[in-house]
Amino acid sequence: MDEQLLQEIQSAKGAVADAEGDLARLLREVQSGLRADKITISEALQKAFDKLRAAREHLVRLEKLAIAQLH
């Protein structure tokens, strides 16, 4: 069970990393754009990116707990 949990955490971390990369790229594109509404879009993207980063940090903490329980 614990090994399976670690595998699931690794999978989730990979998905979060992919999404984080996509959001970072989109945020850079929006911030360099010339649209009048880019500020609203940029703020929404930044909030989503911050939430995603927090989720990644939470996954790292869960992974450390799971590893500690294995040893």
Structure tokens at 64: 């450390």
Per residue in 1-51, pLDDT tens? Answer: 578 888 888 898 898 988 888 888 887 877 777 665 666 777 778 888 888
Per residue in 49-63, pLDDT tens? Answer: 888 889 889 899 888
Model pLDDT, residue 25: 84
Contact 9, 69 (CB under 8 A): no
Q: Is the alpha carbon torsion for 25, 30, 32, 33 positive or negative?
A: positive
pTM summary value:
0.66
